[in-house]
Chain A
Amino acid sequence: DIQMTQSPSSLSASVGDRVTITCRASQSISSYLNWYQQKPGKAPKLLIYAASSLQSGVPSRFSGSGSGTDFTLTISSLQPEDFATYYCQQSYSTPHTFGQGTRLEIK
């Protein structure tokens, strides 16, 4: 199975900050990397697919980059509604494993 490792596990930031979350795969996954946002009590929401493609309706302050084994999710200017948990997921092969999550908290 491909292991996905996110860092950091938690992060405190302020509204307006630029934030970067990283995700590393245990082997090359090309660009088969997705990012999801989850708020408490809600289902995950797709933000980025294919490493850098923005899902329809997602604000442009979210961006993704990377290929192979190393990926990043960047939020250019944090908004109050962005405080949530973020997960990366590989869809290169089954099982479609998720990272352990990054909890983004208000400083």
Chain B
Amino acid sequence: QVQLVQSGAEVKKPGASVKVSCKASGYTFTSYDINWVRQATGQGLEWMGWMNPNSGNTGYAQKFQGRVTMTRNTSISTAYMELSSLRSEDTAVYYCARGHTAMVPPSYYFDYWGQGTLVTVSS
């Protein structure tokens, strides 16, 4: 069965960086995008960006450009999201999600999600 298993909770100081991992199993890792979505406590879902694990191509939301880097290690079917220059507003649960492209009907959707990783930014 398809699973995305994320790394554990992190506590970071303002200005630091955090790197969250997302290990995929149950499917061919390079065949589907990995997206990252975050959610501050009590707030809605915010899309951060996507990565094609086959090519390594990425696309980031303008809000995170210059601060976020999405990478992968195909030998261990793992995607990574690194966020730098952390501030208190980055405190949130970070999710990875598999992006599924379908042709009939034409669509793109997030069909499997990781369990989430809480990142707390505090001095």
Are A55 and B111 neighbours in the complex by a CB distance under 8 Å?
yes
From the candidates B50, B95, B107, B114, name the one contacting A49 in the complex (CB within 8 A). B107
Q: Quick one: closest A residue to B105, CB to CB? A: A50
For the complex, what is the distance from the CA of A73 to the CA of B56, rounded to whole Å? Answer: 35
Asked if B105 and A94 make an inter-chain contact with CB atoms under 8 angstroms apart, the answer reads no
| Residues of chain B at interface, number, CB under 8 A | 24
A-B contact count (CB 8 A): 72
Q: Are A53 and B45 in contact (CB under 8 A)?
A: no
Chain B residues proximal to chain A, CB less than 8 Å: 35, 37, 44-47, 50, 59, 61-62, 95, 97, 102, 105-111, 113-116
CB-defined A-B contacts under 8 Å, sample of 18: A31-B107, A32-B106, A34-B109, A44-B45, A44-B110, A44-B113, A46-B111, A49-B102, A87-B44, A91-B108, A94-B50, A95-B47, A95-B62, A96-B47, A96-B108, A97-B47, A98-B37, A100-B44
